[in-house]
């Protein structure tokens, strides 16, 4: 038996036994867990922010580390008995620093939103507290009086933030109203060029000069192109702003050295945030990387804006980051980008329209208005055919953020399964077939609907059968048998 086969067999027995234990208490949860694997195995997962973590990462999350409280930082906890959590958190941070070449790493954020909250807090505190401490003659924040804090509170709020607009691919946490960042900051946005869909750095510079933000945010969740972070830093420096980069989506491409030099945010930004579960292929969670002088404020993330650290997830982050430091991860990351090109070319050669005309990262943004559909209709029809995607706005979207005109696609998950050029071309072919055979539906009273749709007879079955051929060739968690 090879090591891989031995590990698969061990994984299989570990999960069979775990599900038996779970079923002894709540069989419906055991069954839903088993069914989730069946569903993920049997569909084309093209959600750009999802992936498949390794069994080692998944198994690391299911332990008694979940039972431990550990507020504070490594070696400085508010609870006794944290020596093993210290080992775990220190290792996660060390792997993150080594992997990304970052001076400082903080592994506690529970999610991307949390990582961004820690980053915003640390930037505001760094920008406001340091001069205030000097002014008030205090050495550190613990020396400030309640009256000092009263005056500081006014300075901590109502700051200016410049980020990418949502319909150009920015994220809710970059100063938009449904997120606390939209309340903490006065926000203005930079978009993309209306003709090309590309970021125009001259426009970003002009906006920055006019608005004079305290924080310039770069990064995206639906922009299918690379960003020059050296230029973004120049712009930030010209207006005295702090550059924060949210690399949640493309952290795997940074880790895998697909994005280097000006495209690597880590040497250019003051603070970088990410999630660990997207292209980075780790457990669901967040991470903050920072220049050394931001470390004291970032370290106060818990309990300032975070609850108790999830030690079991930090352990899994350490395992995933160790995986990402292996040479195979670079091959994987390059394949993610190559596959995105294959997928984009597959659409373009069949006459579909893509925002920006293509991709050079892991995202393809398909404009489905050419098929006469909204994003919502396209998403539902594709799901019926076993293709899992999510609808997304396109720039200046006439259908707004709920119905949308786009479908966002990403290659990280199917690349993990082993899909290559030919399979991604076939995926584009199958998707175009679905969209060409979908008609907009009507509401119950016969009016045009932006949500309902009619999929042609037999289309879903045909596409599911064609997908199954590819999926069977690239099994998810091979050897893992839960039958
Ligand atoms: N939900 C993530 C995504 O899909 O991009 C970002 O928050």
* 406-463 residue pLDDT tens: 999 999 999 999 999 999 999 999 999 999 999 999 998 999 999 999 999 999 999 9
Per the rule left: phi > 0, alpha: psi between -120 and 50, beta: everything else, 175 is left
Q: Is the pLDDT of residue 383 over 70?
A: yes
pLDDT of 333 over the 80 cut: yes
138 C-alpha to center of ligand 1: Å?
41
Which atom of ligand 1 lies closest to the CA of 221? 5
Q: pLDDT-based confidence at 248, cuts 50/70/90?
A: very high
Mean pLDDT, residues 260-276 taken together: 98
- Find the mean pLDDT for residues 59-74: 97
The rounded Å distance from CA 7 to ligand 1 centre is 32
Residues 402 and 263 in one domain: no
Mean pLDDT, the chain, as a whole number? 95
**What CATH number does residue 451 fall under?**
3.90.1150.10
* DSSP category for residue 476: S
- Residue from 199, 262, 209, 257 nearest 231 by CA: 262
Atom 2 in ligand 1: residue holding the nearest Cα:
49
Which pLDDT band, with edges at 50, 70 and 90, does 4 fall under?
confident
Q: Kindly state whether residues 74 and 186 are assigned to the same domain.
A: yes
Q: How confident is the model at residue 1 (pLDDT cuts 50, 70, 90)?
A: low
**255 with 334, same domain?**
no
Within this chain, do residues 246 and 358 fall inside the same structural domain, yes or no? Answer: no
Strand-pairing partners, residue 225, are none
Pocket test residue of 47, 48, 49, 279 for ligand 1, highest count of atoms within 8 A of CB = 49
The yes-or-no verdict on residue 395 having pLDDT over 80 is yes
Q: What is the pLDDT of residues 146-193, one digit of tens each?
A: 887 777 777 666 689 999 999 899 999 999 988 989 888 999 999 999
Question: Using a 6 Å CB cutoff, which residues line ligand 1?
Answer: 49, 112, 171, 221
- Domain range enclosing 110: 65-324
Question: pLDDT at position 3, please?
Answer: 72
In the prediction, which pLDDT does 2 show? 63
Out of 171, 223, 273, 404, give the residue to mutate to test ligand 1, the one with the largest number of ligand atoms within 8 Å of its CB. Answer: 171
pLDDT for 157 equals 63
Please indicate, yes or no, whether residues 145 and 216 belong to a single structural domain of this protein. yes
Residue nearest to atom 3 of ligand 1 (CA): 49
Q: Mind listing the pLDDT tens digit for each residue in 123-137?
A: 998 887 777 778 888
Distance CA 428, CA 348 (A): 9
Alpha helices (H) along 305-451: 311-324, 327-348, 375-384, 400-403, 412-417, 421-436
Q: Which of 301, 324, 347 is the last residue of a domain?
A: 324
Percentage of the chain with pLDDT > 70? 98
Give me the mean pLDDT over the 265-278 stretch.
98
Residue 135 in any domain: the answer is yes
Q: Ligand 1 mean position to 33 CA, how many Å?
A: 23
**Is the predicted pLDDT of residue 290 greater than 80, yes or no?**
yes
Q: Are residues 248 and 345 in the same domain?
A: no
Of 269, 302, 324, the residue that ends a domain is 324
Q: Give the nearest ligand 1 atom to 222 CA.
A: 5
| Same domain assignment for residues 160 and 214 | yes
Alpha carbon of 155 to ligand 1 centroid (Å): 31
User: Which residue's alpha carbon is at the smallest distance from atom 4 of ligand 1?
Assistant: 49
Which of 324, 343, 363 is at the close of a domain? 324
CA of 410 to the centre of ligand 1 (A): 12
152 and 209 inside one domain? yes
pLDDT digits (tens, 9 = 90+) for 454-463: 999 999 999 9
Q: How far apart are CA 250 and CA 280, in angstroms?
A: 8
Domain count, the chain: 2
Radius of gyration of the chain from Cα atoms?
23
Could you tell me what percent of the chain has a pLDDT over 90?
87
284 three-class SS: coil
pLDDT of residue 166: 92
């Amino acid at each position: 038996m090879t090591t891989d086969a031995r590990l698969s067999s061990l994984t299989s027995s570990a999960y069979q036994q775990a599900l038996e234990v779970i079923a002894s208490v709540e069989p419906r949860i055991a069954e839903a867990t088993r069914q989730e694997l069946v569903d993920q195995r049997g569909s084309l997962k093209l959600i750009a922010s999802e992936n498949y973590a390794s069994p080692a990462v998944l198994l690391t999350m299911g332990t008694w580390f979940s039972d431990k409280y550990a507020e504070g930082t490594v070696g400085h906890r508010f609870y006794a008995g944290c020596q093993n959590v210290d080992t775990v958190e220190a290792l996660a941070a060390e792997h993150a620093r080594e992997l990304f070449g970052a001076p400082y790493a903080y592994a506690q954020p529970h999610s991307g939103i949390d990582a961004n909250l820690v980053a915003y807090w640390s930037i505001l505190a760094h920008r406001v507290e340091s001069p205030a401490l000097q002014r008030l003659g205090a050495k550190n924040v613990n020396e400030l009086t309640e009256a000092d804090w009263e005056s500081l509170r006014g300075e901590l709020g109502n700051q200016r933030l410049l980020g990418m607009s949502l319909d150009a691919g920015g994220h809710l946490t970059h100063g938009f109203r449904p997120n606390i960042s939209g309340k903490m900051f006065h926000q203005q946005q930079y978009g993309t060029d209306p003709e090309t869909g590309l970021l125009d750095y001259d426009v970003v510079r002009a906006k920055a000069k006019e608005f004079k933000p305290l924080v310039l945010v770069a990064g995206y969740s639906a922009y299918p192109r690379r960003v020059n972070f050296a230029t973004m830093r120049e712009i930030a420096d010209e207006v005295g702003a702090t550059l924060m980069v949210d690399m949640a989506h493309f952290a795997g491409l940074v880790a895998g050295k697909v994005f280097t030099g000006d495209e690597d945010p880590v040497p250019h930004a003051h603070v970088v945030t990410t999630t660990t579960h997207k292209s980075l292929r780790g457990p669901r969670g967040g991470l903050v990387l920072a220049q050394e002088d931001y470390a004291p404020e970032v370290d106060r993330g818990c309990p300032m804006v975070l609850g108790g650290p999830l030690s079991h997830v930090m352990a899994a982050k350490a395992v995933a980051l160790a995986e990402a430091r292996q040479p195979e991860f670079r091959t994987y990351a390059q394949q993610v980008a190559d596959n995105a090109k294959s997928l984009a070319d597959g659409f373009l050669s069949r006459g579909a329209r893509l925002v920006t005309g293509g991709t050079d990262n892991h995202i393809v943004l398909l404009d489905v208005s050419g098929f006469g559909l909204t994003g919502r209709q396209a998403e539902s029809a594709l799901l019926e055919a076993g293709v899992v995607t999510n609808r997304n706005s396109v720039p200046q979207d006439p259908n707004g953020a709920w119905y949308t005109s786009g479908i966002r696609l990403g290659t990280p998950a199917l690349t993990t399964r082993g899909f290559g050029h030919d399979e991604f071309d076939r995926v584009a072919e199958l998707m175009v077939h679905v969209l060409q055979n979908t008609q907009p539906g009507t509401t119950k009273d016969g009016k045009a609907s932006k949500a309902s749709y009619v999929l042609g007879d037999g289309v879903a079955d045909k596409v599911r059968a064609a997908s199954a051929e590819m999926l069977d060739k690239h099994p998810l968690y091979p050897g893992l048998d839960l039958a």
